[in-house]
Structure 1
Amino acid sequence: MDVLLSVEGLEKSFKDKKVLHNISFDVRKGEIMAILGPNGAGKSTTIRNIMGIMYPDEGKITFHGYNEIPRNKIGYLPEERGLYKNVKVIDILLYLADLKDYPQKKAKERALTYLKKFDLEGKEHVKMEELSKGMAQKVQFISSILHEPELLILDEPFSGLDPLSQELLKEEIRNLARNGAAILLSSHQMNVVEEMCDRLFMIQQGQKVIYGTLDDVKMKYANFKCTIRGKNDLEKIEQIPDVQRIESKEDSTVLYLHKDITPAKWLKKLPDDMVINELVMDRISLHEIFIDVATNKNLLLANEQMGEGDEHA
């Protein structure tokens, strides 16, 4: 896929505090790219530099190889929502589309289509302050995509939405990517990131810690774990080879396995008399990797010490 947005060597300081250290990544046409990290890691500063709200001390940001992103080519859904409360839905949508130099007739047609798609048909003449939080969230999302941006930046887009509305939003984001938009998604909902994103960039204390496809990240950092449902003696479980850590409850056990085990071979090492009502073998989740990074544990460091080094696309 073609690179649409390129961030290279971004450095940013506020007074004597450096908040971004050599941040580099690409966002490609037709992909959903996650930017992740705990609060204060530098995500918002990175996004604001891309948006042109602030400027980096060092480094460059290019769009199609050019140094400036045209305002009508970018859509942005901020984490802090803020559409004018006393303005009608259709008026605010058309006003924001006009700011992007988008034709008003086409904007109105698209606005009505999207309002219907997001179960807001008939709400076009309702003032924003009369909408529920979820409805207002959907209107703000529509405002970010109405002008058909090539690059869409979504900051916590699912916050405040019920499960059905989340599914509607997910499907529309996927449609936009399928139609060629480059999407940069910031979210703390790791299950959503695993479900939707093609690649991810994880930042901690202003520095890159993980960068690559979801499959690559899982292969590198997410060792296998085996969940066994059944009442078993802990002493017997502790005799099973190639187990790093055990989490045991009354009727279930999670075995965190050493790196580079082969699941099919390892399963043959389970005792013949072990009680297994249900068994699941999978890799640790992106949520667990995120927690490891955010709490400065040793998972990443341990893998690097094994000679694997940093992941890069």
Structure 2
Amino acid sequence: MLEIKNLSKQYSGKIAVDSLSFSVSPGEVFGLLGRNGAGKTTTIKMMLGLVAPDGGTVKWNHKNGLGHVSYGYLPEERGLYPKTKVIDQLTYFAKLEGLGKKEIKKSIDYWIDRFDIGQYRNKLAGDLSKGNQQKVQLVATLLHNPELIILDEPFSGLDPVNTNLLTEVILEEKEKGKVIIMSSHQMDQVEKFCKQVVLMKEGKAIISGDLTTVKNSYGMMYLSLFGEVSRLVTFCSANGHSYEQDGKRVIVSLEQDQDPLAILTRLKQEGVDVNEVTYLQPTLHQIFVDKVGS
């Protein structure tokens, strides 16, 4: 189990991370969210011992620091040697993790095949596309079977096919009982994986906890109405309802104490036909934009 408690960091008097606390259990994917400059990468670097915190603790199974745990870190920035063959640098990274010769070959062969990049093993990393470089970095992150996996923008550069492939891999690692931290701007991907999230703004955690609880406590629900769009829009405008048009649907924003049945009754009274109604929770994307958008 990973435990972060009151982690803090300042740079030249400016707060980068302010008393951040969270914990992640085995078999969980934790979402570390926020805009650029929110403090996510600084948090990760303090966890890994790359940056010294001003205060707070990082513990693994109640022991200080991550010096006694095997971890894999995928940074947002490219971390490959562009003039070195893929196979050579993966072998080098595996040796740094203490793998033996047979383990190295077995692991690299497995992951290269899993990410479908076998045809690039003898290519220079710099000659690969952005997406294939990302897959090489993912292999380097996972080849030593780490207990803790930290993924900073893991879907960067990946097309839809490879996004699905990485999704499968993350779920497989989750099922193995790994502790996984994922930082991403792609909220739809975060919602697929993460049970717990923390949303950071200017170094502070402004939302933290179970994703379902976060959504339920947001204070806003949505009513999706499918019908005659022009009349639905006119109805919403006339009655002061906040709404968005999405193709042939109108999405009405509801305050927590608003009764959706009252709106449906009013629509019927005014003769506005509705063919389909869906009561929706807010998406993580909507919460993110509302809480950290300017």
TM-score, scaled relative to structure 1: 0.86
| Cα pair distance change 1:46/1:250, threshold 3 Å | closer
Q: What does residue 289 of structure 1 align with?
A: 287
Does the 8 Å CA contact 1:34/1:193 hold for their aligned counterparts? Answer: yes
| Cα pair distance change 1:52/1:265, threshold 3 Å | same
Cα deviation digits, residues 217-238 of structure 1 (max 9, x gap): 1111162211223231655445
User: 1:130 & 1:238 partners in 2: Cα distance?
Assistant: 55
| Cα pair distance change 1:122/1:69, threshold 3 Å | same
TM-score, scaled relative to structure 2: 0.91
In structure 1, what residue type is equivalent to 2:187?
M
Q: What does residue 186 of structure 1 align with?
A: 183
User: 2:10 & 2:185 partners in 1: Cα distance?
Assistant: 25
- Of 147, 155, 158 in structure 2, the residue corresponding to residue 158 of structure 1 is 155
In structure 1, what residue type is equivalent to 2:100?
P
Q: What does residue 27 of structure 2 align with?
A: 30
User: 2:31 & 2:61 partners in 1: Cα distance?
Assistant: 20
Alignment identity in percent? 36
Q: What does residue 192 of structure 2 align with?
A: 195
User: 1:222 & 1:100 partners in 2: Cα distance?
Assistant: 47
Q: What does residue 207 of structure 1 align with?
A: 204
Deviation at 1:10, TM superposition (A): 1.0
Does the 8 Å CA contact 2:223/2:280 hold for their aligned counterparts? Answer: yes
In structure 1, what residue type is equivalent to 2:215?
K
| SS state at 2:27 partner | coil
| Cα pair distance change 1:5/1:72, threshold 3 Å | closer
User: 2:44 & 2:91 partners in 1: Cα distance?
Assistant: 25
In structure 1, what residue type is equivalent to 2:99?
Y
Deviation at 1:113, TM superposition (A): 1.3
User: 1:36 & 1:117 partners in 2: Cα distance?
Assistant: 28
| Cα pair distance change 1:251/1:158, threshold 3 Å | closer
Q: What does residue 9 of structure 2 align with?
A: 12
In structure 1, what residue type is equivalent to 2:20?
I
Q: What does residue 232 of structure 1 align with?
A: 231
- Of 168, 171, 188 in structure 2, the residue corresponding to residue 171 of structure 1 is 168
Cα deviation digits, residues 164-202 of structure 1 (max 9, x gap): 001101110110011011000000001111122111111
User: 1:135 & 1:64 partners in 2: Cα distance?
Assistant: 35
Deviation at 1:269, TM superposition (A): 5.0
In structure 2, what residue type is equivalent to 1:8?
K
Q: What does residue 98 of structure 1 align with?
A: 95
| Cα pair distance change 1:81/1:268, threshold 3 Å | same
Does the 8 Å CA contact 2:9/2:17 hold for their aligned counterparts? Answer: yes
| SS state at 2:189 partner | helix
| Cα pair distance change 1:234/1:187, threshold 3 Å | closer
Deviation at 1:103, TM superposition (A): 2.4
User: 1:90 & 1:234 partners in 2: Cα distance?
Assistant: 58
Unpaired runs of at least 5, structure 1: 297-313
| Cα pair distance change 1:233/1:89, threshold 3 Å | closer
Unpaired runs of at least 5, structure 2: none
| SS state at 1:227 partner | strand
In structure 2, what residue type is equivalent to 1:285?
T
In structure 2, what residue type is equivalent to 1:279?
V
Q: What does residue 303 of structure 1 align with?
A: none
